[in-house]
Structure 1
Amino acid sequence: MLTYFRQRYPTRIEIDAQGKTIEVPLPNPMLVAQLHIALSTDGRHWTPLNDNKPIWNQQMRDQFIHKGPDGIWRLVATGGGKDVPDHKQFGPSCIYATSKDLIHWQFEKYLPLMKDVRDSTGAMVKNIWAPEYFYDDATKEYTLLWSSTFKSEGWQESRLWYCKTKDWKTFTPAKVLFAPPYSVIDGTLIKHNNVYYLFHKEEEFGAKTGERRGIRVATSKNLEGPYTVYQGPLNNGQIAPTITEGPSVMADPVNSKGWLLYYDYPMADDYGISSSPDLFNWTIEKDVTLPPDARHGSLSRLTSAEAKALQNAFPNSK
């Protein structure tokens, strides 16, 4: 299952040699910031449900969905703006929702995960972007991770933060998870052979720094880090010249020893998939079919019964 929202960006942000921000208009912008679902049997060819229309009308972006050990599907997503109650007191928040069947969703609450964090001037962060979570079987804890910044724009000097919860009612204080020597957003975490792999987007660009809006990976023996950034290029460098973001990773359903990496080409209105035998060396998959305008997907493995129920609940007209 691929869950996503849909968007075509209205502009591309650039920074000139004097540090001035420039917005370059892009053609045919659109935004459907709601939950969409597509299904696949091979991880490469995806069929959207409900004619690629939303399956829930809750406003959200960057949704992340997994099933917990209790059988409950939990969703976290970007979506707590200034219109949320208590925003002035607690700052930005993210969406938390649950479902027993992926068909009927219950909005639970907004999570002000950075409510107690201030910078040296006493200011709150400006955003909570692309929240995800990782369940630890050993500790029975959920580790939530997301990106935040104190700067005026969400992509400026951004860091990945984290907190933990066992019951989704009480949360540990937010701490920095990953602070590399570059701005970072869109973190996603997997564990393989007792190593944690933190895929993320390096968000550096401009006349002085060059174009560095691409996906990287860092590793650690401990969930809380410290993480070491892998210095080799993903996709043998093929991905470097093109802006990419919103990574998501899963085991390859076709190759039992391989992996698949998914990512947006946000400025090109496209979506990409790469395959790897080792989580470091990636090859871009050419024969893929993905939902039009899909953005920032998350991945889950379903039973055939769950897939059939979704198909029946959200059939396509053709």
Structure 2
Amino acid sequence: MVLLPAMISIVLAGCINNGDRGADAGQASGLRPEEASGSPAYLMAYFRSGPNQTQMDLRLHYAFSRDGLHWYELNDNKAVWKTSVGGGIIRDPFLSKGPDGSYHLVHTMNSSAGSVHKGKQLGYAKSNDLITFTNAKAINVMENFPNSTNVWAPEWNWDAATSRYMVHWSSTLDSKVADNNRIYKAYTTDWETFTPAELLFDPGYSVIDSHIASHEGKYYQFFKDENLRPMRNRFAVSDQLDGGYGDTSPQITPNVTEAVETLKLTGQQKWYLYYDYWADGKFGIKESNDMIHWSSELPKSSYRFPFQRRHATFLPITEEELSKLIQHFSVVARYGKEETGPLQFDGKKTDVRFTESKISDPFALRTVSMRVNAKGVRKTQVLYDEGEAGSGLAIKLENGQLKASVAEGGVQAAVSAEFKQTGVWRHVAVVFAEGAFKLYLDGQLVNETTAGFTKVGVRDKQGGLGRRFSEDAFGDKGDGAYFEGMLDAVTIYNTPLQDADVRFLFHHPGNK
């Protein structure tokens, strides 16, 4: 049976993520039980800069993870959205899903120097799909404090007791510089009208970067203590969301860190604590089973973050939401169209040539996914040819085997698996992630290896589908090795799909 591609809309799960992001997993994640137990998915929202706030890109960026430790950038680490307010500035983005089913973004923004609103506003926008944002605006949360200097690092929590959002942030009063901050709060039910700002947390010294999570009826407010030098982070505990924070902890993060955020792992009694070494341009992570006792900083080898990420939010999302983000932001090229059906190859002279120049750009992260229906598997048949033995990636069928090779500087890494079925559709995916090289067949990881390089350089030779164009990444030469059969949904991504992402593609053949 020929499996035709279908351009379908992905229906987002209609479950609600409690705005109190520290709530227990099933309530806070918005995931269906079967997803929560099998394929957790997480999103990281951040802005970018280098050490000491150099090379700043003050817009919204995304990365995704399946384990909360290894985060891979979407959209090639370029911005996914820019606000129309506050000079387009997005710093310290906080993003979470409300009980209305929409995602609400709040962020630090800029007001013009001469504006009467300077030092009183935070930025806001709303999204139903994490792709399109609407209602971008500046909210004057400190309007009743005319002597406010700044509004920094806003976040929000859903207050179930009063059925409203509690927004909180740091501000300094009666100063030309933001050097004596306290945490303030305001409430809203509709993101249109807000209660007057009032004090939420004042430990008697300057504090910023308020983040509140909950566990077993307790609320934990994490913050940067600016009284200590070098500055670092602590937390205070309360029985209620909207005040009463005391029992302040000792230092919980290393020196010169800020912007603590937490993520509860779906289906586990475990939290990760993320923090920003802002002067060094790196992140650190600790873990806990009770929100109180935190481990030593995890070794750098145990996690990965996008380049130049800063002050991030971490949140669970559904499998469908993640797939839609990947399809929207991280597709380099796609071949096979609904209108014309699968790509047909006669084994003699037909091919499809790559036309997008960006396919040949250097890459450290790459996924190639396709559906293959072969008429025979004995002779050498090249399915995918990109580059050559010097720098390249290729996939072929040969003597009952599916084989893939990636090459750089004359060094090759190869993976293979048995492939003997003909006349049926099978899903093939190859993933390269900074040296890790994996081969998937019908949604399952079937072979993997580690290359002796982490990046593939420019490929300046003609590439394409259905044959070898000159020399391929296996080192084979000559025009030929034509494929006979059909290919469909051939998609090149600039991010490395994880095991669960590949399974999702296999089980959702219309996901294009």
Q: TM-score, structure 1 length as denominator?
A: 0.84
The reply to whether residue 233 of structure 1 matches residue 251 of structure 2 is yes
The corresponding residue for 1:51 is 76
CA contact (8 A) 2:232 2:256 kept: yes
- Which residue of the other structure, out of 70, 82, 88, is the alignment partner of 2:112? 82
The reply to whether residue 190 of structure 1 matches residue 213 of structure 2 is yes
The corresponding residue for 1:117 is 145
The corresponding residue for 2:236 is 218
Q: What is the alpha-carbon distance in structure 2 between the residues aligned to residue 317 and residue 89 of structure 1?
A: 41
In the TM superposition, 1:214-293 aligns within 5 A as: 214-234=232-252, 239-240=253-254, 242-253=255-266, 256-283=268-295, 284-286=297-299, 287-293=302-308
The offset of 1:184, in angstroms, is: 0.1
The offset of 1:72, in angstroms, is: 0.7
- Which residue of the other structure, out of 132, 152, 165, is the alignment partner of 2:176? 152
The structure having more radius of gyration, on CA atoms, is: 2
The offset of 1:171, in angstroms, is: 0.8
C-alpha change, 1:217 and 1:116, in structure 2 (3 Å) is same
- Which residue of the other structure, out of 128, 132, 135, is the alignment partner of 1:100? 128
Q: What is the alpha-carbon distance in structure 2 between the residues aligned to residue 143 and residue 89 of structure 1?
A: 21
Q: What is the alpha-carbon distance in structure 2 between the residues aligned to residue 51 and residue 212 of structure 1?
A: 34
C-alpha change, 1:230 and 1:313, in structure 2 (3 Å) is same
State the one-letter code of the partner of 2:194: F
The reply to whether residue 308 of structure 1 matches residue 331 of structure 2 is no
The corresponding residue for 2:96 is 66
The offset of 1:141, in angstroms, is: 0.5
CA contact (8 A) 2:104 2:126 kept: yes
The offset of 1:83, in angstroms, is: 5.7
CA contact (8 A) 1:90 1:114 kept: no
SS of match in other structure, 1:307: helix
Q: What is the alpha-carbon distance in structure 1 between the residues aligned to residue 117 and residue 303 of structure 2?
A: 46
State the one-letter code of the partner of 2:227: E
Could you list the runs of 5+ residues in structure 1 that have no partner in the other structure?
A: 12-28, 119-123, 206-210
Q: What is the alpha-carbon distance in structure 1 between the residues aligned to residue 327 and residue 82 of structure 2?
A: 19
SS of match in other structure, 1:312: helix
CA contact (8 A) 2:111 2:117 kept: no
Q: What is the alpha-carbon distance in structure 1 between the residues aligned to residue 52 and residue 63 of structure 2?
A: 25
The offset of 1:91, in angstroms, is: 4.8
Residue by residue over 1:175-196, the C-alpha shift from the partner in whole angstroms, topping out at 9 and shown as x without a partner, is 1100112210000111211111
Aligned residues: 282
Q: What is the alpha-carbon distance in structure 1 between the residues aligned to residue 52 and residue 249 of structure 2?
A: 32
The offset of 1:212, in angstroms, is: 3.9
The reply to whether residue 138 of structure 1 matches residue 150 of structure 2 is no
C-alpha change, 1:233 and 1:306, in structure 2 (3 Å) is same
State the one-letter code of the partner of 1:231: S
CA contact (8 A) 1:202 1:212 kept: no
The corresponding residue for 1:175 is 198
C-alpha change, 1:83 and 1:311, in structure 2 (3 Å) is farther
CA contact (8 A) 1:90 1:112 kept: no
Q: What is the alpha-carbon distance in structure 2 between the residues aligned to residue 136 and residue 169 of structure 1?
A: 17
CA contact (8 A) 2:52 2:278 kept: no
The corresponding residue for 2:475 is none
Q: Which moved more, 1:225-234 or 1:95-104?
A: 225-234
Q: What is the alpha-carbon distance in structure 2 between the residues aligned to residue 106 and residue 140 of structure 1?
A: 23
C-alpha change, 1:229 and 1:291, in structure 2 (3 Å) is farther
Q: TM-score, structure 2 length as denominator?
A: 0.53
The percentage of counterpart residues that share the same residue type is 35
Residue by residue over 1:157-204, the C-alpha shift from the partner in whole angstroms, topping out at 9 and shown as x without a partner, is 110000111111111111110011221000011121111110010113
Q: What is the alpha-carbon distance in structure 2 between the residues aligned to residue 108 and residue 57 of structure 1?
A: 10
SS of match in other structure, 2:109: strand
State the one-letter code of the partner of 2:289: P
CA contact (8 A) 1:258 1:277 kept: yes
SS of match in other structure, 1:181: coil
The reply to whether residue 39 of structure 1 matches residue 64 of structure 2 is yes
C-alpha change, 1:89 and 1:98, in structure 2 (3 Å) is closer
The corresponding residue for 2:409 is none
Could you list the runs of 5+ residues in structure 2 that have no partner in the other structure?
A: 1-42, 84-88, 331-492, 496-512
C-alpha change, 1:100 and 1:89, in structure 2 (3 Å) is closer
Residue by residue over 1:85-142, the C-alpha shift from the partner in whole angstroms, topping out at 9 and shown as x without a partner, is xx31575311110111001111431001001114xxxxx2111000100002232110
The offset of 1:281, in angstroms, is: 1.6
CA contact (8 A) 2:121 2:142 kept: yes
Q: What is the alpha-carbon distance in structure 1 between the residues aligned to residue 119 and residue 49 of structure 2?
A: 26
The corresponding residue for 1:7 is 49
The corresponding residue for 1:17 is none
Residue by residue over 1:42-74, the C-alpha shift from the partner in whole angstroms, topping out at 9 and shown as x without a partner, is 000010101111001222100100111111111
- Which residue of the other structure, out of 219, 222, 232, is the alignment partner of 1:199? 222
CA contact (8 A) 1:76 1:97 kept: yes
Q: CA RMSD for the aligned pairs?
A: 1.8
The corresponding residue for 2:365 is none
